[in-house]
């Protein structure tokens, strides 16, 4: 067992791409939230169909690179989403030339209901950190084992919070309560189902990244909380450098 207190280098090969993919997923999910869809007897918003990818990506980042890097990704997704919404609000208030016949339709699409915006922000800032927190804590508790179970457990718990907050803030009072419950249950079921279906890919990806990056971070000394900015890890936090363990 190595007990060095040297800081791990920040150089990684794939982390930048995972953070970018996570941010794009958040942007697309929030954009599609305004569109309701019906899947057989179930009703949900279109954003739910892509949003579970954010949990898969966040789980992978937390598993390989640690909670601190996922926290950075969460802030990145949040800030770019604000930029997207702010710029969208700006351009819809700029003068429209007569030669642009589709500007009115574009402006109507960009005028997102404030309740949906508030619901997205609140549910995001609560559920995404919770997902990463549960992943990191379960990894410590189970000593790095049962990766698939940890992926599903964190998504199940975080999805309950995300779905409850989003549907309540965005749609309460706009539809009968039994319909609201059906929408919430459908959203939660889709998120968990996507996580389970994607397990063969996400688990293999995490194991591959551990080999490529030579990282398997355990958040033993991490200050959990969304407002902490410190992102360094020590060599003793890297499981690949101090002891083998089964995944």
Q: What is the pTM for the complete model shown?
A: 0.87
pLDDT of residue 241: 65
What pLDDT is recorded for position 242? 53
Alpha carbon distances (Å) from 21 to 139, 140, 175, 245: 23, 26, 34, 29
CATH 1.10.287 matches 15-219? no
Q: What is the mean pLDDT of each run of 10 residues along the chain (247 residues)?
A: 63 92 89 76 76 91 96 95 85 83 76 78 93 96 94 95 90 82 87 92 95 94 90 88 51
- Domain ranges (residues) in the chain: 15-219
Supply the pLDDT for residue 246: 46
What pLDDT score was predicted for residue 91?
83
pLDDT value of residue 173: 81
Task: State residue 5's pLDDT score.
Answer: 55
DSSP 95-159: ---TT-TTHHHHHHHH---HHHHHHHHHHHHHHHHHHHHHHHHHHHHTTT--HHHHHHHHHHHHH
Name the DSSP class of 214: T
Cα three-residue angle 203-209-212, rounded to 5 degrees: 145
């Amino acid at each position: 067992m190595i007990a060095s207190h040297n800081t791990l280098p920040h150089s990684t090969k794939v982390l930048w791409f995972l953070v970018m993919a996570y941010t794009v997923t958040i942007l697309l999910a929030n954009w599609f939230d305004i569109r309701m869809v019906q899947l057989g007897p179930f009703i949900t918003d279109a954003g739910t169909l892509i949003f579970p990818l954010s949990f898969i990506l966040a789980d992978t980042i937390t598993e390989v690179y640690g909670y601190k890097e996922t926290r950075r990704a969460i802030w990145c997704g949040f800030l770019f989403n604000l930029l997207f919404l702010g710029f969208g609000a700006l351009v819809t208030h700029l003068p429209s030339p007569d030669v642009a016949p589709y500007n009115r339709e574009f402006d109507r699409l960009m005028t997102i209901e404030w309740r949906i915006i508030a619901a997205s922000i609140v549910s995001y800032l609560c559920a995404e950190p919770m997902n990463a927190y549960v992943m990191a804590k379960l990894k410590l508790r189970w000593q790095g084992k049962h990766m698939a179970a940890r992926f599903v457990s964190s998504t199940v718990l975080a999805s309950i919070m995300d779905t409850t907050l989003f549907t309540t803030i965005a749609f309460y009072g706009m539809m009968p309560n039994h319909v609201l419950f059906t929408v919430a249950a459908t959203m939660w079921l889709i998120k968990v189902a996507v996580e389970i279906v994607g397990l063969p890919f996400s688990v293999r990806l995490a194991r591959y990244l551990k080999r490529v990056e030579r990282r398997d971070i355990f958040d033993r000394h991490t200050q959990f909380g969304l407002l902490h900015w410190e992102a360094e890890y020590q060599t003793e936090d890297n499981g690949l450098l101090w002891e083998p363990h089964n995944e």
